[in-house]
Amino acid sequence: MIISTIGQGFLWAILGLGIFLTFRVLNFPDLTTEGSFPLGGAVCVTAITNGVSPILATLIGVLAGMLAGLATGLLFTKGKIPIILSGILVMSGLNSVMLFVMKSPNLSLLNQSKIFDLLNFLNLPPDYDKIIVGLIILILVVGGIIIFLNTDLGQAYIATGDNEKMAKSLGIQTDRMKILGLMISNGIIALSGALIAQSEGYADINKGIGVIVIGLASIILGELLFGELTLFERLIAIVLGSVIYQLLILVVIQLKLDTTYLKIYSSVILAVCLIAPQFKLKKGGR
Amino acid sequence: MKNKKLIGFLAVLVVFIIVSFIKDNHVQKKRITENEIPTIGVLQFVSHPALDDIYKGLVDELEKQGFKDGKTAKIVFQNGQADQSKLTSMSQHLLNEKSDVLVGIATPAAQALANQTTEVPIVLGAISDPKSAGLVRDNQKPGGNITGVSDQSPVKAQLDLVKEILPGKKKMGILYSSAEDNSAYQVEKITKEAKKIQFEVKSYAVPSTNEIAQMMQVMAKEVDFVYLPTDNTMANAMQTIVDIANTNKLPIIPSVDSMVEQGGLATVGINQYDLGTQTGKMVASILKKESEPKDTPIYIFETGDTIINQKQADFLGINIPKSILEKATIKGVSKK
């Protein structure tokens, strides 16, 4: 039970890492997330049901998410549409794209192979496949982000988020950086969508509703619990934040509170986390 | 890494995973459910009058069969409220409560449950076509741990009703939305049934509500009556359809009772409460070890409640036979 929740926390953490790249580094509230997340699942599941191997199918899902990010990026930078609106436009448009891809609003993976089945030969107890696959992918994603942010390109990307005018004066093509960021971020978000769809056994066009909350929750919980951190530590904090958030939800369910009103519980948890740092500041007298 | 809290937390997590791995590896095969009273885990996708009625029917029927919640059985209920990200945790919780039978109400809930276990029996409540939802291999012979009740409307009973109240009208036009997967499936099914009794069937697909007005004008010239499948687009545009049908004196046979109230002529619809009762019967039979999901066919209703809109019948000048009126639910008061 708790193991399964930790596994889910790992898979959702990938979403948090994706959102981190735009929300924290670029200071973008990118709403494409709620479209690219189910898109990754939709494309991946469709590919698997058509006989593509799960790993390749997952990668195709990532590619689809990157294209969604590209669309938002172009609307925002070239079309001069505000970022929130660009994201909303792409998000709602993706609903039709997913219907076109899946040919139905919901597609099941029952009796199909999934990426987690690759570990079947290890004969693990249930749910450990999610932990191991989740860990491997988290290491790849976290490693990838760190390597990327330490290249010249990555430094230019960070500069764009820190101070766009300054970055421009240094000759950085900030528009390109924004598009790049939206693509990478949405690719990672779609990766999370593809993995979650495989772990839950189906893709659904409405799966994206509310996922941005889960992603932000892992970022915010991580920041709240662990405070000032280096880049590497921050990424780890997001992963832990995601696990803690899933555990909190589990506690709410286990406490036998009426799950009909589950959404307000998660909203309260998040609101408390967002308010808490202010009290800390006052106490510390900083 | 210098942050001590972070390292500490990480260490706890790693230790926990390793310890429970060793423990789980040990007891993995020993999981036996030993409950004094049977536990029934129910996962409902969202609150909505139709689904709530199913749950009510389920609980009432279980009580009738000797499984009273809190006394002779334990019913654990979870409602996802349309938030799909929580369905997995909820399914896990139901399994953890050592449910002897699981019930999934509506497709995403059923899929979430199906993905968690291949051993505990799962009974489906209200899934139109379990096979195309990927839940069972075959609707007649499920073969796994899943069986259940379909919410497909009783097509044959509907056509029989048409024969009785609209004698001689054989040209049937099906109006449906091309954007909805469930509609295409229903159109195929009703076309097959209608052809068996020598009806002439023409289907008219529209991409959205905006094209319905024109399509109805065309249909009015070509068909004797309009059939509407269970289709959200049509349900939303019911008023448009009724307006044009009325100017052309064209009877409408919808597949859902609420659409009869809005101006359809009549239908035979499944009562959602009955759907729940049927689900309850299946659960009880599995609990009593009288049947197993793998060879219990998916239950499809062959009949349901007859619903007649008297006002609409008067308007169209249609005389509904007494024998039907007696057993039917009448909607819409006659102006006479």
Task: Return the number of other C-beta atoms located less than 10 Å from residue A70's C-beta.
Answer: 17
Residue with tokens 């209920």: B77
- pLDDT bucket at A38, cuts 50 / 70 / 90: very high
Task: Report the alpha-carbon distance of residue B182 to residue B238 in Å, rounded.
Answer: 18
Task: Report the alpha-carbon distance of residue B82 to residue B85 in Å, rounded.
Answer: 9
Residue A281: the pLDDT is: 62
Contacts across the A-B interface (CB distance below 8 Å): 132
Both tokens assigned to A44:
């991946």
Tell whether the model's pLDDT for residue B160 goes beyond 80: yes
Both tokens assigned to A243:
């696990």
Task: Report the alpha-carbon distance of residue B71 to residue B85 in Å, rounded.
Answer: 33
Tell whether the model's pLDDT for residue B153 goes beyond 60: yes
Contact B93 A6 (CB under 8 A): no
Task: Report the alpha-carbon distance of residue A196 to residue A209 in Å, rounded.
Answer: 14
* Chain B residue closest in CA terms to A107: B133
CATH class of B39-151+272-300: alpha beta
List B residues 130-149 in contact with A (Cβ-Cβ < 8 A). 133-135, 137
Residues whose CB is less than 8 angstroms from the CB of residue A274 and which lie 6 or more positions away in sequence, other chains included? A220
How far off is chain B from A1, nearest CA to CA, in Å?
A: 7
CB-based contact (8 Å) between B114 and chain A?
A: yes
How far off is chain B from A233, nearest CA to CA, in Å?
A: 7
Residue B335: the pLDDT is: 43
How far off is chain B from A52, nearest CA to CA, in Å?
A: 18
Residue with tokens 């040209």: B171
List residues bridging with B176 in a β-sheet.
B205
* Chain A residue closest in CA terms to B185: A104
| pLDDT greater at residue A196 or residue B271 | A196
pLDDT one-digit tens code per residue, B253-293? 998 887 888 889 999 988 888 889 999 999 999 998 888 89
Residue A112: the pLDDT is: 82
Residue B180: the pLDDT is: 67
User: A106-108 and A202-204: which strand pairing?
Assistant: antiparallel
B77-102 mean pLDDT = 87
| pLDDT greater at residue A72 or residue B135 | A72
How far off is chain B from A84, nearest CA to CA, in Å?
A: 23
How far off is chain A from B326, nearest CA to CA, in Å?
A: 40
Residue with tokens 């590619």: A63
B186-202 mean pLDDT = 90
- pLDDT bucket at B234, cuts 50 / 70 / 90: confident
Contacts from B207-214 at CB under 8 Å and sequence distance 24+? B207/B177, B207/B178, B207/B179, B208/B177, B208/B179, B208/B233, B209/B233, B209/B236, B209/B237, B209/B240, B212/B175, B212/B237, B212/B240, B212/B241, B213/B240, B213/B244
pLDDT one-digit tens code per residue, A91-149? 989 988 998 898 877 788 877 888 888 887 777 777 788 899 999 999 999 999 999 99
CB A40 within 8 A of CB A65: yes
Residues whose CB is less than 8 angstroms from the CB of residue B94 and which lie 6 or more positions away in sequence, other chains included? B41, B42, B43, B76, B78, B102, B113
- Secondary element (H or E) of residue A197: helix A174-200
Residue B26: the pLDDT is: 67
Tell whether the model's pLDDT for residue A270 goes beyond 60: yes
B130-141 mean pLDDT = 83
Residue A225: the pLDDT is: 85
Contact B85 A233 (CB under 8 A): no
Tell whether the model's pLDDT for residue B233 goes beyond 80: no
| pLDDT greater at residue A257 or residue B45 | B45
| pLDDT greater at residue B143 or residue B277 | B277
Contact A110 B16 (CB under 8 A): no
Q: For chain A, what's the residue count? A: 286
- Which residue of A105, A240, A262 is in closest CB contact with B10? A240
Tell whether the model's pLDDT for residue A285 goes beyond 60: no
DSSP A204: E
The chain-wide mean pLDDT, for chain A, equals: 89
Q: Roughly what angle, to the nearest 10 degrees, separates helices A2-20 and A211-226?
A: 90
pLDDT one-digit tens code per residue, A223-239? 888 887 889 999 999 99
CB B312 within 8 A of CB B264: yes
DSSP A125: P
Tell whether the model's pLDDT for residue B30 goes beyond 50: no
- pLDDT bucket at B27, cuts 50 / 70 / 90: low
The per-residue DSSP string of B90-134 comes to HHHHHHHTT-SEEEEESHHHHHHHHHH-SSS-EEEES-S-TTTTT
Task: Report the alpha-carbon distance of residue A8 to residue A58 in Å, rounded.
Answer: 17
ipTM for the assembly = 0.73
Query: At B266, is the secondary structure helix, strand, or coil?
Result: strand
Query: At A181, is the secondary structure helix, strand, or coil?
Result: helix
Closest CA to A117 of A209, A53, A183, A51: A53
List residues bridging with B228 in a β-sheet.
B254
- Secondary element (H or E) of residue B187: helix B181-196
DSSP B299: B
B125-154 mean pLDDT = 84
DSSP B29: G
Task: Return the number of other C-beta atoms located less than 10 Å from residue B54's C-beta.
Answer: 29
User: Rounded to the nearest 5°, which phi and psi values hold at A251?
Assistant: -60, -45
- Secondary element (H or E) of residue B204: strand B200-206
CATH 3.40.50.2300 in chain B is located at 39-151+272-300, 155-269+304-331
Chain A neighbors of B142, CB-CB under 8 A = none
Share of chain B above pLDDT 70, in %: 93
Task: Return the number of other C-beta atoms located less than 10 Å from residue B101's C-beta.
Answer: 24
Residue A283 CB burial class (10 angstroms; 0-12, 13-18, ≥19): exposed
The per-residue DSSP string of B144-172 comes to SSEEEB-----HHHHHHHHHHHSTT--EE
CATH number at residue A179: 1.10.3470
- pLDDT bucket at B302, cuts 50 / 70 / 90: confident
| Segments forming the whole domain that contains residue A157 | 1-284
Query: At B250, is the secondary structure helix, strand, or coil?
Result: coil
Tell whether the model's pLDDT for residue B2 goes beyond 70: no
B52-61 mean pLDDT = 92
Residue B238 CB burial class (10 angstroms; 0-12, 13-18, ≥19): buried
Task: Report the alpha-carbon distance of residue B287 to residue B65 in Å, rounded.
Answer: 10
Q: Which CATH fold would you assign to the domain B155-269+304-331?
A: Rossmann fold (3.40.50)
Chain B neighbors of A245, CB-CB under 8 A = none
Cα–Cα–Cα angle for A195, B116, B55, rounded to 5 degrees = 120
